[in-house]
Structure 1
Amino acid sequence: MPLPRLARLLAFALPLLVFALFGLWLLRTAFSASPTVPYAEFTRLLEAGRVERVVVRGERAEVTLAPPEVGRVAVRLPSTQATSGPTLISQLERQGVDYRFEAPGQWLAIGLNFLPILLVLLLPLALFAALLVVLVRRGRSRTP
């Protein structure tokens, strides 16, 4: 009778695995996020010379603060500044800030594109496994 065991395992393990992966993703995003400051605050920090490094990814920038305020903050850039525009670059160069522009990560978009495919494949499999468990239990109860 290995089939009912497999069906029972699939019926409980697949949802548990999905919830565990979602929980890990939530933990990762919760602990890796830097505090966000408004763009006006970022420009004040830049003009005061308290910015050491800036990494721009899309419309967000990860800003490393110079001593005495060592730390990181995130800033959402206006759409005109998010590209490597001359205004932002000239401000960063004038202050001697180490900066670079990186392409935003595509893994979230790729994962979201595959999510419907996974649901179409895994949901019927889980339902089939649950149906097998019910049928096997029903068959056991009728066996004399």
Structure 2
Amino acid sequence: NLINLCKYIFFYKDNEITNNYNLYMTITGVYIFLSLFISTSFLGIFFNSFIIFSKGIQLTLATIFYFTLNEFSMGMFFLGYIPQMLIELILVYVISIISLRLSLNCLTISFITREVFNSRKIINYVLDYVIIILIIVTISMAFKVYAL
């Protein structure tokens, strides 16, 4: 059952690549939404750390599963795997920076300082990074569609 689940999640089915981009967009969208939603509370630091850890585990399992299903070739490694993994790592890095910074900001405003919560500044900060996240996801999808 675990192997069938991994085949469905990581886009590989019986040694053939399936173009299941809707599932990739759903998983990435849920990851982005959960990270940004949880970061609005002071407990978001702990929950976002767990989400970042689980995304790292997902990337590790995808790597293991990718190399066990396909035979190794240098072209596949340098032209297919490395750019895709770099894009995914950049996406995880940017989302983790946003979510942890927002959670830390909420924690310091709630418990440490006596500042007024400036939601306009935080919304502008989030919107700037959401644009960057959307650009990275678009590049990732374009790479998956046109290069792979």
Q: TM-score, normalization: structure 1?
A: 0.32
When Rg is computed on C-alpha atoms for both structures, the one with the higher figure is 1
Bigger proportion of residues as strand: 1
Q: TM-score, normalization: structure 2?
A: 0.31
Bigger proportion of residues as helix: 2
Of structures 1 and 2, the one with the larger relative CO (CA 8 A, separation 6+) is 2
